[in-house]
Amino acid sequence: MPGRKRSAPIDNPSPRTIRATRSSARRTAAKNDNDVIPDVVKEMVVEVRKAKQAAAENEDTPTEPPRKRKRPGEKPAKPSKENDAGNDGNDEEIEFEDVPIPAPTIQTMVRDTDDEEDDDDDDDDIQFEDVNINGAQANTRYEGPKTLDLDLTAYMASLAPKKGDRRKALGREEKDRRIETHKVHLLCLLAHVELRNRWCNDPEVQDALRPLLSRKTVGFLRPRASLNQFSRTESLRRGISEAKEVFRTRFEITERGLQRALWAENLDQLKDYKPPPDAETTRNKADFLKAAQTLRGSRDVGAQLFCALLRSVGVEARLVCSLQPLACVAGAPAMPKPSSKTTPKAKQPSKAEQYLAAVAKHETKFTPTTPGTIPRSRLGHPDATSYQIPSLLAPSPSTPPPLPTPKTQVKKIKGESPFPICWVEILDHAHQKYHPVDPLVTFSQFNPKVYEPPSSDLLNSLTYAVAFNPDSSCLDVTRRYAKAYNSKTRRWRIDGLVSSRNGLKGERWLRAALRRYQPPSVTDLLQIELNELKAAELKEPMPRNVMDFRDHPVYALERHLRRNEVLVPGAQVSGTCGGGGLERIYRRRDVKVARTRERWFRLGRVVKGGEVPVKVLPKMKRKKKGRLGDGDDDEEGEQGAGNPVFIESQTEVYVPPPVVGGRVPRNRFGNVDVYVPSMVPRGGVHLPHERARRAAFVLGIDAAPALTGFEFRGRQGTAVLRGVVVAAEYKGAMEAVIQGLEDMEVEEEQERKTRMLLAVWRRMLKGLRIRERIMDGVDEEAEAEAEARKQEDKGKAKEVDMPDFDDTATPFHDDEDEDSAGRGGFFPSTNLDSDDEGGGGGFMVEEEEEEGGGFVIE
């Protein structure tokens, strides 16, 4: 397979390794397909552990990572064994406490394919596709890992290139590593949230929480269906408000929750890195239950418990988490610089803290005001729910008064983002709509606008907000919360990496990754929500600056068009932007890719007659690089006599000349171009078999080699010929002959192997005879030994050393009975002396394991 090899970066995992990992992941998945999520994570953990050890040995960093946290006053953190009883044993071998470690050598089962063929890309999806997990199924069998430690920063960070180290920063492998790491982290986070979400269903947990709510509140939370739509929503609103209030006053934030992972820029940042001492200690379901009983924990756990609380009284509640993976793109903020050595421990106010201090002043802004939005009642319009009417119209009577910062103010962990990482969405049955509720950080409800932190927030970035349903299915609801999904948020996401190289791979990867949490079916409710999210995306205002137009899915600027992109002739201007001059804004859908005639032909299309090129690409001069900057106008046709390019509407499907009289028309190279199936000439058939050409020769029919593409290996491209095109009527005959040829080949191969084997045997016997002669003729053992050693040393030299023995060995067949008696008489009739060379013997040993191995003359 010539196409499989690719030059791997030296210190990167070789494709082979990755493939091995992947296939093993797949195997594991196939074994018990319900456990895939854990398996994936487990495998990663194993990888990561290995990497950790390797790293620990390389660096002089302490072998024991600083992440072993002990719960104060408890036995050393170890997953409680009693919990493990019900699970299959080996799941428990892995403690997830020290999950994520370094990652320089991390190999994920998820590979970002680059310049490889398309079929290879499909493989990437398969690993997800053949995994069909519905939460319900998964629930029944697997408890899940105990927990995941998601503070990857310290370990992953060594991957970050130093800023300013241009050479390193630009490296392709560095970029790929980031992407890989991002993916791994994302998978981890998803698994983590999914697990927490499952814990929210736990009856014990729910029982512990349920008493928090008064009957009255529960009554509000479960409005009678007989009420009208508006009243039901109002009832729910009120119930949520009360529940939120109760929970807020009762729950105490004692630990630090998840926060954004940041890259380090140098190893110093890692050397002194300690996980925050107050980091969350909830490790397993027992801890979670305990948190439910004591109502203490991180704010994330708080949000999760709030979710469990609502579920406990029958509210359809989702657990939403804004995942905080390490960024996949360069330019992301990095870990704050380690403070000067004077105060290594006492943190001087970092950027994040400065930001927090600044934000603290305005915190009232985020505390609940009147609910910002009230959905208008409009059944029957799927996207009606997206419409929000200003709240001032209806400050409903049931809305609680603006919260007067109760005396039991929630204790905050110093230095946490003023925006939540976890929150809850509750289903408003009356309007078939989900509303966010955040009981602990912003205290808001029904207002999705307050969840997105500014981009300067180092501790929280709204990039992937995923909402988990009770059945463990999830939905990416980022667009509900992001104010500029298309212009900003997208860029930080794996599916927003648009470039000629990445194409849509990131998108496909994410889809595949989320597929395992896919809802079992698209219900009306889900459809409404999808419409709503789509609408939110479309409603997004136009970017205000030029940069945000780049790769924008809706808008496009002429200046950002790629070399091979043009605007369709009648492109509408949808606005202007830009600082000094006005720059026209077009719709992305009016941007078309233009190709040369040859490129179109490779897609099976030809330019229609009389079409004038939409643009002429100036030919690039290799040496004159400085010149190309000024090619700003597309009508550049001067002196280069560039390549004319056309857009698709200027082309039509190529209809190749038909096969007539069994004769296949060819191009001037004697081939027939079959880049796409439609290019097979009428009356012909493409047989993409490597032996097809020979078969046609055997049959004596006309067959044109099929040119299916080009391979760009090294400097120049070479044609790829796959099979032949023959007249359709010969199809059956061809197939038969091909089959015959294959059979013959198999037979030949068999025979060849047999012959090789026989040669080996023969040689061995010959050796035995030689040895026998020697032993016969020599009395003294010493001499015999010397002889034997001699032969051993240079087995090949025996002919030279002992020509007489060789001679005697030649009439070998005479004595054949004697030799063959022991091991079956299958000596060939043909004389195989010719390949009796040292080299021949050597390589055959590899081919034939058992018999061949023993023969070497000893």
Residues at the interface with DNA (CB under 7 A): 115, 161, 163-164, 166-167, 169-172, 175, 329-331, 351, 455-456, 499-501, 545-547, 562-564, 578-579, 598, 602, 620, 622, 625, 628-629, 669, 671, 707, 710, 712, 715-717, 719
Distances (CA, A) of 454 to 260, 459, 662: 13, 10, 70
Residue 639 CB, shortest distance to DNA, in Å, is 15
Cβ proximity of 163 and 169 under 8 Å = yes
Closer to DNA by CB, 224 or 622: give it.
622
* Measured CA angle at 208 (ends 207, 211), to 5 deg: 80
Long-range contacts from 811-819, C-beta under 8 angstroms, 24+ separation: 812/762, 812/765, 812/766, 812/769, 815/769, 819/765, 819/768, 819/769
- Pairwise CA distance, residues 304 & 84, whole Å: 22
Closer to DNA by CB, 294 or 456: give it.
456
Residue 618 CB, shortest distance to DNA, in Å, is 8
Distances (CA, A) of 743 to 738, 747, 752: 9, 6, 14
**β pairing state of 373-375 and 388-390:** antiparallel
* Measured CA angle at 442 (ends 441, 445), to 5 deg: 120
Residue type at position 96: F
Closer to DNA by CB, 602 or 796: give it.
602
Cβ proximity of 43 and 24 under 8 Å = yes
- Kind and range of the H or E run holding 652: strand 651-653
Looking at the DSSP bridge assignments, the partners of residue 837 are: none
Cβ proximity of 164 and 86 under 8 Å = no
Closer to DNA by CB, 167 or 361: give it.
167
Q: E-assigned strands of 164-316?
A: 252-255, 296-298
- Pairwise CA distance, residues 574 & 538, whole Å: 14
Residue 352 CB, shortest distance to DNA, in Å, is 11
Give which of 557, 531, 530, 529 is closest to 542, Cα–Cα.
Answer: 557
Closer to DNA by CB, 171 or 553: give it.
171
Residue 460 CB, shortest distance to DNA, in Å, is 14
Cβ proximity of 426 and 236 under 8 Å = yes
Closer to DNA by CB, 170 or 786: give it.
170
The owner of tokens 């009428």 is: 682
Closer to DNA by CB, 100 or 496: give it.
496
Closer to DNA by CB, 499 or 521: give it.
499
Residue 490 CB, shortest distance to DNA, in Å, is 14
Closer to DNA by CB, 275 or 709: give it.
709
- Kind and range of the H or E run holding 423: strand 422-428
**β pairing state of 474-476 and 684-687:** unpaired
Closer to DNA by CB, 28 or 643: give it.
643
Distances (CA, A) of 659 to 180, 229, 725, 738, 778: 50, 69, 10, 21, 79
Closer to DNA by CB, 188 or 497: give it.
497
Q: E-assigned strands of 147-282?
A: 252-255
Cβ proximity of 181 and 48 under 8 Å = no
